[in-house]
Amino acid sequence: MAEIIDGKEIARAIREAIREEAAALREKTGVTPGLAVVLVGDDPASWIYVRRKAQACEEVRFLSRELRLPADAAEGELLDIIAQLNGDDAIHGILVQLPLPEQIRTQAIIEAIDPEKDVDGFHPVNVGRLLTGNPGHVACTPRGVIELLDRIGVDIAGKEAVIVGRSNIVGKPLALLLLARHATVTICHTRTRNLPETTRRADILVAAAGRPEMIRGEMIKEGAVVIDVGINRRPDGGLVGDVAFAEAERRAAYITPVPGGVGPMTIAMLLGNTLAAARRIAAPV
Ligand code: NAD
**pLDDT (0 to 100) of residue 176:** 98
What is the pairing mode between strands 232-233 and 239-240? Answer: antiparallel
pLDDT in tens, the chain (285 residues): 999 999 999 999 999 999 999 999 999 999 999 999 999 999 988 999 999 999 999 999 999 999 999 999 999 999 999 999 999 999 999 999 999 999 999 999 999 999 999 999 999 999 999 999 998 999 999 999 999 999 999 999 999 999 999 999 999 999 999 999 999 999 999 999 999 999 999 999 999 999 999 999 999 999 999 999 999 999 998 999 999 999 999 999 999 999 999 999 999 999 999 999 999 987 766
Asked if 247 and 267 count as a contact pair (C-beta separation under 8 A), the reply is: no
pLDDT at 281: 82
Distance between CA atoms of residues 73 and 213, nearest Å: 36
Residue 261 Cβ inside 6 Å of ligand 1? The answer reads no
Span 41-75, pLDDT tens digits: 999 889 999 999 999 999 999 999 999 999 999 99
pTM (2 decimals)? 0.97
- The torsion angles phi and psi of 204, rounded to 5 degrees, stand at -125, 115
Atom of ligand 1 nearest to the CA of 242: 32
Candidate from 49, 164, 187, 213 with most ligand 1 atoms within 8 A of CB, to mutate: 164
The residue whose CA is least distant from atom 30 of ligand 1 is 230
All structural domains of the chain, each given as residue ranges with its CATH number in brackets, are 29-115 (3.40.50.10860), 140-263 (3.40.50.720)
Q: Is 171 in the pocket of ligand 1 (CB under 6 A)?
A: yes
Cα–Cα nearest to 23, from 64, 58, 65, 62: 62
pLDDT in tens, 169-200: 999 999 999 999 999 999 999 999 999 999 99
Rounded-to-integer distance, Cα 47 and Cα 41, Å = 9
> Can you give the three-state secondary structure of 80-147, one letter per residue?
HHHHHHHCCCCCCEEEECCCCCCCCCHHHHHHHCCHHHCCCCCCHHHHHHHHCCCCCCCCHHHHHHHH
Counting other chains too, the contacts that 76-82 makes at CB distance below 8 Å and 24 or more residues apart are 78/38, 78/40, 78/104, 78/109, 79/108, 79/109, 79/112, 81/38, 82/38, 82/109, 82/112, 82/113
